[in-house]
Structure 1
Amino acid sequence: MFGSLNKRIQDTLAERRRHRSRLVTKDGRCNIEYGNIKYSKHFAFLADFWTTFVEIRWRFVLFFFIFSFTMSWFIFGLLWYWIARSNGDLLWQNPDLDHVPCIDNVFGLTTAFLYSLETQTTIGYGGRALTHLCPGAVAVLIIQSLVGAIINCFMCGVILSKISLPKKRAKTITFSDMAVISPKKNSLCLSIRVANLRKTLMIGSQIYGKLLRTTNSSDGETIIMDQVNIEFVMDAGKDNLFFVCPLTLYHVIDKSSPFFEMAVDTLHKQEFELVVFLDGIAESTSSSCQVRTSFIPREIMWGYNFLPIISRSKEGKYRVDFSNFSKVVPVATAHCAYCFHNIKGHHHHSREGNVNQGFEVIDINDAVDATKM
């Protein structure tokens, strides 16, 4: 019992370490932090205040929304109170019966605040109104109306910009949880599946990858997060994709590929992170967005292929079955890329023991039945 509990704790800690070691999480967030930034550099964030406001969290946006309006009402309320006091309109000043106030029905700080709120929000209850006897009050009225319009425009722009951020569109584009390595058209390929959950297209989509790993240069320097380009192709090419249905991306493992030196029994012992990017323009909003995800060695399965998910109904309609999106079937695959290119038909490895428990594997007979139209 205690041994099982200890193993479970160790697995949980190992999972947390792997999660922290990712540069890019599965949902596309970058796991990086900046330190020792000079205080003078912080003014750059204030200079670019629009981007700062759009990027901050919603809780701070709501706080600034409430704070900006409340403080403007209060500050102008103090100005209206000062104008009423200067004119002798307040109750404690005991104005004469024939006294003509600057602002009707403003007798104290509370009524001055209410008049400020009604002025800036254009409520106009009719109980408090500005008279023509105080030119200074007319100037304050104009200034408050302009300030209120500026605050309204700015805060509405920030909220609309945050709502329409391209990363929200990226939430409806999903990658497969795992990548697979198997033969494809006489080549050994690393395959990844990607799907657009909306019917609106991503225009001008481009997909590429970066392999991140720690390497040692020839002069002994350790390069952390060294980046290697990973090219992905599809049957229809790699640019201007017709992203109307789920696509399978292929990276050909040839002699120029960093995966060429890996094998089925050494892949999961490697230390690297494969980051995949999809850039495109949303058809409905014309805003560009980028979708990211990453794969670490334990999320790459050697000797498996994705189960087909696109079929055609009797009525002639195309159907996408997302229940098979993360399912794979075992296929005969060479033990390593060198074996595949140099020893044809040999060294097909057994797939026993290379199954990730979090990824569903389908029997090959079930796969055949599932692809029948």
Structure 2
Amino acid sequence: MKQRRTLIRKEGQSNIAFRGIQKKKTKYLKDLYITLLDLKWRWATLILFLGFFLSYFIFSIVYYLLSYIHGDFDHIGDPKFEPCIKNLESYWDALLFSIETQSTIGYGTIYPHAECGGTVPAVFVQISVGFLLETILLGFIFVKIARPKHRRHTLVFSRNACLCKEDNQMSLQVRVGDMRNTHLIETHVYGVLVKRYVSQEKHVYPLFQHELEFEAHGMGDRVFLIWPMVLRHKITPDSVLYTLTPEDLLYDKFELIIFLEGTIESTGEMVQARTSYTSKEILWGHRFARVEEYDEKNDKWCMDFVKFNNVVPSKTPRCSAKQFDESPKTDEGAEKEREKASLLQGASKVLTVSEDTLLDYSTASETEAERDSE
């Protein structure tokens, strides 16, 4: 299957690469906090463990050198000698003591001697550095986990978009749903159509953005996303899709990007969910099947997500919205003429029936009068 050549992937991630940026790494380091948040999880985990390990390792060397310079290793087992760090007899003991000090575990088997110069300052510096590392490393890991962008994974868009006639007007439709019971508030939706554009000066924009306004039922661009909803873009003369025909979906190169933005109810943070549709992912003459069902047993409305991507055929003219808006005038007049003719024909039938009934009645009356006279 041919890979989708799109700007935005179906799941919402960007499909754009940048190159030729001078001093890119320097610019990223100046914005270190956001750089750490944007790192992939494998690199974030590596930085977390590597940061703590380097701290443990550096201070273990400091403690080992303090003991070595003080001569502790030459007086191992001497009860009269006071070492800088009690029971530190090898480098591995120094590493264990470093981990215990920074993590404030304090098993008690290895402990420093306060009268040994350099021991107290080294412990103080390590604990201070340890608090700083925990704040930075654990802090950015927590923020990375709690970022509101992950809320978009429970917001789902339909696999395809549909183009059909609704309310006697051509419209483009997309379905969106929320899996959670805690819903977004102040939710808005809008779309962008990206396609090639040539200006009057013959300047070519291969990726030109056109605005597409979507509405959710009668709420405008505000989406009350308690149940799956069908978003509609009315194809009016102001729409960039006004001249779109079914044949254009096969040959035209454009991409439809849908953005859904709202506030997470439980945290108050903003979140954006997005997806994209290529021209070949728009189904002409179809609309979305119903997913709303009332469960009489549990006395609740049930939204069947199994049918979320299901579509059904819809009677839609195989022409552009412009052609559709221009053609109904003659068709409507002809339809009215047919209605008038039908009414006149019906009236004539009624009149004929009435005349026949009167004729039969008069004939019957004359016959009955003759019988009475006899």
Shorter-chain TM-score above 0.5: yes
TM-score normalised over the length of structure 2: 0.84
2:309 corresponds to which of 312, 319, 326: 326
Question: Structure 2 residue aligned with 1:113, among 82, 91, 95?
Answer: 95
Query: How far 1:346 sits from its partner (Å)?
Result: 8.8
1:238 to 220, 223, 226: 220
Whole-Å Cα distance in 2 between the matches of residues 128 and 216 of structure 1?
76
Instruction: Kindly indicate whether the alpha-carbon contact (under 8 Å) linking 1:339 and 1:346 is maintained by their aligned counterparts in 2.
Output: no
1:58 to 13, 30, 41: 41
Contact 1:89–1:95, Cα closer than 8 Å, also in 2: no
CA contact (8 A) 2:214 2:221 kept: no
Matched with 1:208 is 190
- Name the larger-Rg structure: 2
Q: What are the within-5 Å matches in structure 2 for residues 336-347 of structure 1? A: 336=319, 337-344=321-328
Structure 2 counterpart of 1:283: 265
Q: Indicate whether 1:163 and 2:145 are aligned.
A: yes
Preserved CA contact (<8 Å) 2:162 2:287 = yes
Report the more deviating stretch, 253-262 or 95-104. Answer: 95-104
1:312 Cα deviation after fit: 2.1
Shift of 1:332: 1.3
Residue 175 (structure 2) aligned to one of 183, 190, 193: 193
1:182 and 2:164 equivalent? yes
Match of residue 229 from structure 1: 211
The aligned residue for residue 260 of structure 1 is 242
Unpaired runs of 5+ residues, structure 2, are 332-374
Q: Is the 8 A contact 2:216 2:222 kept in 1?
A: no
Question: Whole-Å Cα distance in 2 between the matches of residues 294 and 67 of structure 1?
Answer: 38
The answer to whether the 8 A contact 1:334-1:346 is kept is: no
* 1: CA distance, partners of 2:225 / 2:145: 24
Task: Note the aligned Cα RMSD (angstroms).
Answer: 1.8
Does the 8 Å CA contact 1:88/1:95 hold for their aligned counterparts? no
What is the alpha-carbon distance in structure 2 between the residues aligned to residue 124 and residue 255 of structure 1?
Answer: 75
Q: 1:328 to 1:96 in 2, by over 3 A?
A: closer
Aligned to 1:273: 255
From 273, 276, 285, give the equivalent of 1:294: 276
What is the CA-CA distance between 1:256 and the residue it aligns to? 1.1
Q: Does 1:77 align with 2:60?
A: yes
* Shift in Å, 1:159: 1.6
Change (3 A) 1:342 1:117: same
Match of 1:47 among 30, 33, 38: 30
The equivalent of 1:88 in structure 2 is 71
2:303 and 2:222 mapped to 1: Cα distance?
A: 21
Question: Percent identity, aligned pairs only?
Answer: 32
Displacement of 1:95: 8.8
Q: Answer whether contact 1:277 1:291 (CA < 8 A) is retained.
A: yes
Give the CA deviation at 1:241: 2.3
Rounded to whole Å, the distance in 2 between the matches of 1:183 and 1:195 is 22
Contact 1:306–1:328 (Cα < 8 Å) also in 2: yes
Q: Return the letter of the residue paired with 2:70.
A: N
List gaps (5 residues or longer) in structure 1: 1-11, 348-373
Question: In structure 1, how many angstroms separate the alpha carbons of the residues matched to 2:131 and 2:312?
Answer: 61
Aligned residues: 329
Q: 1:345 to 1:193 in 2, by over 3 A?
A: farther
* TM-superposed deviation, 1:193: 0.4
Native 8 Å contact 2:213 2:221 kept in 1 = no
Residue 118 of structure 1: how far off its partner (Å): 1.3
Q: Residues of 2 paired with 1:128 and 1:46: CA distance?
A: 39
1:33 aligns with 2:17: yes
